Chains A and B, each alone.
Chain A
């Protein structure tokens, strides 16, 4: 009886050797993630001339000037039409912001709209698109990058921010399926009532359906924004004259020219992390919510 009561009161709880071992492993994992981050934060506040990485500076010795210096000393050479130019960190932040916001917005919008159409309009094209997305996601295609670069160059989309937004604005994505599943859960009566009131298709979409999924929309937007903010592969390949912060950091990690001190490099890392950490602090619940195929599960 006592055992039954205990189980009923906390059906999923229970500590055992397995749980103890997992607890220890998770502590080790958390330390392995947190220690380099905390060490990096300490180094970013070090005097730039000191080279001892084992010293953690006292708060009285913190050098916040590193954060200002980073904006002056961080630059990458870019081959532009007028010759080599050197965009500084301010420009890199600007390019990162425009690239990440634009790409996340086009991608999320396209996935959402296409999912709305295929889930609410029972045409044969809708069914074909749905099957196609499932196949395209599961089908591994290797090495199409050269062809994609050629295509972007041929269409005049290469090395333009607008071009990269267009390239990222496709619906072959797991998030299309999440939107699709959510739209499928809504009753037909929403549209029927709106039609009786004289609403057209565009109005039904923008005034009724999109407000219903606005939470899911912004959650997916945030997830994709963070992914694009952190991405340096795309700027490296498709936007050579628009260096983002991620690309700048990658460049500095590989390059020996304009060699920065350890505290300065690490300061760059912390500066790049800051916007993402702020977003995570504000929206952590939303970001970690269960994006199930039935939509967002709080």
Chain B
């Protein structure tokens, strides 16, 4: 049936007309919302990157913002950007590398029905329901007050707060982010593992596969698409990752701790109309970098990933 005949049939049947009207009326509002808050916002963001705020209104300035932003990033007089880019990539390698590996193995432990799997499942889910600000406050006091006071009182050993001590600050921030990052990942990975059939596992075990071989040759290939999705989401969020620094320090984290996501968010929260174009420009430049990186990595992983055949 051609498109025009379909349209004719659609309009001539009374019930089809009613169906179409119902569809159009109900979907109109959600579509309007997305048109404004997705397309409108992003188009406005692109346009802002080519404007400047002066005398109470915005004016076109061509690529001036890009020149200014790139100069700021590359000359980097305050070293803020250098730290931010370095920390962003190091944090991604550390938190994703350790966090994802542990999430995979913890999910495998639950899948293999290890001792206390229900308790651990609840514990691993906890970071998903506990507010980051609550956990940050408790964690900060715990490592900065409790641990030094405890060591002083019972072991007569004097140490600085682990977050206050510059030598351990970054380590504690990474540790916190790894601990809090398990929730959704473990839920998704253990969901995917639950679909691995018992007969496949039995067959592998009868063939003499130990736990590590079973994980590597049977389970991992079958959950690889889920693993790729989680991995790609972590790459896509590379420049949005704040490492919870805004929860720890508000707008006053030391420059050496900052990430790109933190820097952008901190500046946006305190920005006025005049700063919006510069922030939109930085956002646009980062988007230009991250989109091909994300899509390319996805394609690469799908190509080289293990096959479950």
Contact = CB atoms under 8 A, between A and B. Distances in A.
A147 B41 contact: yes
A230 B131 contact: yes
Interface in A266-282: 266, 269, 272-273, 276-277, 279-280
Contacts of A167: 37
A258 interface: no
B304 interface: no
Interface of B: 15, 18-20, 22-23, 26-27, 30-31, 33-34, 36-38, 40-42, 44-45, 48, 102, 105-106, 108-109, 111-116, 119-142, 145-146, 149-150, 153-154, 179, 182, 187, 190-191, 194-195, 198, 201-202, 205-206, 210-212, 215, 232, 236-240, 246-247, 249-250, 252, 264-265, 268-269, 271, 275-276, 279-280, 282-284, 286-287, 290-291, 294, 298
A49 interface: no
A141 B191 contact: no
Contact of B112 (A19, A149, A249): A19
Given A150-B44, A201-B19, A143 B123 contact: no
Given A144-B45, A200-B18, A250-B133, A29 B113 contact: no
Contact of A19 (B44, B109, B264): B109
A281 to B, nearest CB: 10
Contacts of A253: 133, 136-137, 140, 247, 250
B236 A143 contact: no
Contacts of B27: 114, 117, 125, 129
B65 to A, nearest CB: 12
Contacts of A25: 102, 105-106
A290 interface: yes
A160 to B, nearest CB: 15
Given A25-B102, A54-B146, A246-B133, A171 B30 contact: yes
B202 A7 contact: yes
A254 B301 CA distance: 42
A140 B106 contact: no
Nearest to A200: B18
B123 A34 contact: yes
A142 B239 contact: yes
Contacts of A246: 131, 133
Q: Nearest 9 A-B pairs (CB), nearest first?
A: A143-B283, A230-B131, A147-B45, A254-B250, A140-B236, A201-B22, A146-B276, A290-B191, A142-B286
A7 B109 contact: no
A23 B115 contact: yes
Contacts of A114: 27, 30
A139 B291 contact: yes
A32 B179 contact: yes
B62 to A, nearest CB: 19
Interface residues of A, number: 94
A266 B136 CA distance: 11
A208 interface: no
A232 B136 CA distance: 13
Q: Give the residue among B116, B137, B232, B252 with the most A Cβ atoms within 10 A.
A: B137
14 contacts: A39-B142, A121-B19, A140-B240, A141-B283, A141-B287, A145-B279, A146-B48, A151-B41, A249-B137, A253-B247, A266-B137, A276-B129, A277-B129, A288-B122
Contacts of A98: none
Interface stretch (A8-16, A74-82, A180-188): A8-16
Given A147-B44, A166-B33, A22 B202 contact: no
Contacts of B22: 200-202
A146 B106 contact: no
B291 A140 contact: yes
A284 B123 CA distance: 12
Nearest to A116: B26
Contact of B121 (A15, A280, A288): A288
Contact of A143 (B112, B124, B284): B284
A291 B108 CA distance: 18
Contacts of B37: 148, 151, 167, 170
